[in-house]
Amino acid sequence: MFSTLEKIKELSYKRHINLQKVAEDLGYSVNYFYSLKEKTLKSDRLQEIADYFGVSTDYLLGRTDNPAIAGEKAPDHEIELDDLDGRIMLFDGKPLSDDDKRAIKGIIEGYLNSKK
């Protein structure tokens, strides 16, 4: 059987946040999360947790593998290279430094120039 707790743990792990921090941020106790092994979430709490992680409630409940929220516009993959510095960029759940962003921009530019 799928456990909502397991999905919450997975999302926390991917973002390098422990359950204690998630519980504090949401105003819950860590024991509340562990109680989800035997009970289901109330809809308002389910929505709060989904909003916290930026995923759909269906994703938390294991009804879909797609974390996107229904009706949410898919990300636009056309990004101007000059706009990379102003965007939030993560790698492995950790923010990239400005130097990292500039290096990535250089790599992309070099690759695109090599195709000409």
**Confidence (pLDDT) at 49:** 92
* CATH of the domain spanning 4-60: 1.10.260.40
pLDDT tens digits for range 25-63: 999 988 988 888 888 788 889 999 998 888 888 888 888
- Residue 8 in this model has a pLDDT that exceeds 50: yes
42: tokens are 């109330």
Q: Cα dihedral sign for 17, 5, 65, 51?
A: negative
Spatial distance between the Cα atoms of 95 and 82, rounded to a whole number of angstroms: 18
SS3 34: helix
pLDDT band at 77 (very low <50, low <70, confident <90, very high): very low
**More confident site: 68 or 17:** 17
Which span out of 18-22, 81-85, 104-108 was modeled with the highest average pLDDT?
A: 18-22
Task: State the pTM of this model.
Answer: 0.57
Ranges of each domain in the chain: 4-60, 81-114
Do 25 and 52 form a contact (C-beta atoms < 8 A)? yes
- In this predicted structure, what is the pLDDT of residue 48? 92
